Each structure stands twice: as structure tokens, then as C-alpha cells.
Structure 1
Amino acid sequence: MKIKNLLLLALSATMLATACKKTETIEPPAPANNRILSYKVTNVPDAAVYGAIDDDKGTITLILPYYYFLTAIQPEIRVSEGATVTPGNGVLIDDITKKLSEGTKVAYVVTGKDGSKATYNLVLTTQQPDIAVDELSPDPANPLVLYHSDPSTFQFNFFSITGKNFIPQQESLGIFSTISYLNEQGTVVYTAVNGDNFTNSIGTAVPSAAQLPAGLYRIRITSYTRSATMKNPVKVETL
């Protein structure tokens, strides 16, 4: 009986000691003071367009409605208290069409009040449908021949490119399709800015010999933020 009582006392003491142990509270880490908290584009006709911020990846993903035909964006940027950002709040990011079509990077560097830095890359995209371009040379072994224009004699050799989902020129906004000629190494040799295009066709003149040497070229169409390149080449030569 005495042994039983001793065991009960020991068990009670153990439980009491356990109950009296202090519970440790682990504080969450303080938030970084070099963060971009919000990013929104304000130079749009309707409600502001917000970017999705990913602190872990260091990205700001911005999806622009293509029908705004923006050529520049003016963002309103909110950062951590006491932090600064470069390029700064409200600084215009221009030449958006080139950045969208060529993938040119825009990076924001945030400097916290403690001097720590974080970089956010702006990932730009639009809801513009992909474009498609029809081949001028159905048979790659028998490329279509295009003859140089000769501005000195006012001889301009025009031809048409067909496809779908081209953006008609927006002259007042400076939105035009471009026609690039890529050599056999894939390098752009010449690009023409075109002002005569519709949803499914683009009219243009063959460049002069001074602009584009004779040779085989694949043609790439860029319409606002989308590009499409012909698989088969055309042959450019002087008549």
C-alpha cells in the first residue's frame, strides 16, 4: 500500500512539473525591408492594371490588355517603409512594344533602410492572340524571287503577306507592323516599318539593294507584341 502511494505521489509530481514548464514562443522572422509591396500601371483608360509580385522569384508579372495599345507604362510602386526603388515610382518605361516582342528586361532594385538590396524583374505580357503568317515559298527548294526596289528610278516592287490576327496600324498611337529579313544564320539584316496592314494582310515593298543585299531570307512579321517567322526562305535579287 505504501509503495502504491509513493508511485501515485511520484506520478503527480511529474505531471505537475510538466504542467509548470514554460511554453516557448517562437517569433516569426521580421519581414524584409527591401520589398516591392504593390505595382500598378496608371496610364490606362480604365481601372489601373496591377502586377503580381513574387518575392521568392523576384518577379513582377504584368499582363497588359493588348487593346490599349500601350507604347509606354507609368507604374505606381509602393515599397517597404524607408526603402527606395530604382527606376523610381512614376518613372515612365517606354518602348514597350520592343520590350514585349524582343524580351528586353526591365529590372527594379529596391534598397532597404538598412542598405540591403533586392532585385525584381518585370515580366511583361499581353492578352494579344498569336499571329500566323502564310508562306510565300510553299516549296523551300524553289523559293519565291523578290526583286529589289530602286528608289533612284522610283521603281518600287510591292508584294503582299497574308496571315491572321495582325493588328491594323494605329497611326495616332505609333503602332505599326514591322517586316524583318533574316539571313541564313538567323540574323536580322533589315527591318521595314509598315504602315499598310490589315487584320489578315500586309502590303510592303521589297527593300533596295543598298538596304538588303541579294540572298536568301526568311521573313518575320512583328505585329504589336507578337511575332511570326516564315519557315521557308524567299530569294531577293536585282532585276
Structure 2
Amino acid sequence: MLTDYHNHLENGTLSLGYLKKFTDAASQKGIESFGISEHAYHFYQTADILQNPWVNERRFYDMKDYVNLFHEAWRNSIDVKMSIEMDYTPGKHDEMAKFINSYTFDYVIGSIHWVGDFGIDLAEFRKEWDKRDLYDIYRKYFDQVVTLAQSNLFDIVGHLDLVKIFKYVPQDEEFLLEQYERAANALAESKTCVEISTAGLRKPVGELYPDKRLLQKCYEKNIPIVLSSDAHFPEHVGADFDQAIALAKEAGYQSIMTFSKGGRKEYPLG
């Protein structure tokens, strides 16, 4: 069994034709459980959750159109899961829960892209890394991983150590492992699965998410996994899954979680 649960239509259109390019690519790659998880900040319905100038310029979808697209796909016998990738926003748990519970998502991804006003993975903010305290950013990032897990709002945490995207990584290994331990401990007490994401291979860091040491801690604490490509174009669906599977097995994983209508089922890793 292979999954690819983290994919985006934002560079095309919310249309059946564009969606089918993704599902066809998944089928060709032998991916049996495939989902689209558009960024929640694109939707007008999330305006009370996340507000900042960068996000506000990119809020242009209505959830009604998104939901209708999936119903159209299902009517046409296209097997695709409906999901959302939500920016975990501290202090907005009630608003996030209300949004999530308003729709019948197959699963929900929670991700951290913002540390305060700092868009950690955005090219527009890259120079900020040289101006800020690296250890402070990492500590605050993993503080959010902990509270994301404790919220128990999400089925999957996206790109768990995205904070390394531009290769700014603390040299103090003890500090780094302490952050990994905090994250794994919190996730182990939640329903949240971890994705092994191949997107990092296409980013400056040139690595899978998460770091092998972090994934090992997740395995030791029985935290389930899924595989994801974080494809923003059809050609990236299932990209480099051989490396993701190898990493999973190196960490000890032999199974993978699948989702449907909020339910979950474990299968042997393909």
C-alpha cells in the first residue's frame, strides 16, 4: 500500500480536468490512497483563523467550490480523498475546530509555516534567518509542534521539521535532539500521524522530512506514518517515494496508515 496525502491544486484550477492530472499521476505511480489537501488560508472561510499581509493576498477560494469539486470527482468514479492543510495557529483552537468540523474531510493535515510574523519556508522571508536567533526559532517552532499535537485536531502533521528548509540547523546536537524528543512525546499522546515527505528533496535542504533521528523517535513511540510528496504540480506526485520507503524501513516501520471519511486503517508498507 502506498499513500500520497499532501497535494495542492493552487498552481492550476479547481477543476475536474486539473484534478484528474493528479489522480492519473497517482494511478501511474501505483498510489492506491491519494488525496488533495489545499492550503486552508486560500479559503474565505478561514479569515478568522490566520491573518497577515502575505496570507491575505492569497485568500481567493470558497469552500463551496472546493467541496463541489470532490463531489463531481466522486460522481465520475475518481477515487480521491478530500482534505485540507491547515496552518496550525496558536490561540485559534476553537476557530480551527469549527472550520474542520464544518466539512466531511477524509483527514486533516496540520502544518507550521509561521513562527509569529516569520514565514519560515517562504523565499520572501529567507534573509530573516540571518537576522534572527536560530535557537529561538527552533524552540518556538517545536513549541508549536507540541501544542499542535496536544490540540488533537489533526490526523497528520505535515513536514514535521520544515524549519530546516533553508539549511539553517543548530549545531548543538543535544539541543536538536531535545526538540525532537519533545515533538515525539507530544505526538505519541495524540491521534496525529507523521508524514514522510519527499518535498524536502526539492528544497534547498535536499533532505526528506523528517530527519532520520526524529523519525526513529516517532517509531519508538509507535506514532503511525503516511507517505506524501507535497506535490504542487502533477509531475511531483509520488516523487522519490523509493527514498521515503527506504527511510521508513530504516527507522523500523513496516506499516502505513490510510484514511477515509475520518476513519483510519493500517496496511503493510508497500
Higher strand share: 1
Tell me, yes or no, whether TM beats 0.5: no
Q: Which has the higher contact order (CA 8 A, sep 6+)?
A: 2
TM-score (norm 2): 0.20
TM-score (norm 1): 0.22
Higher helix share: 2
> Which protein is bigger by CA-based radius of gyration?
1
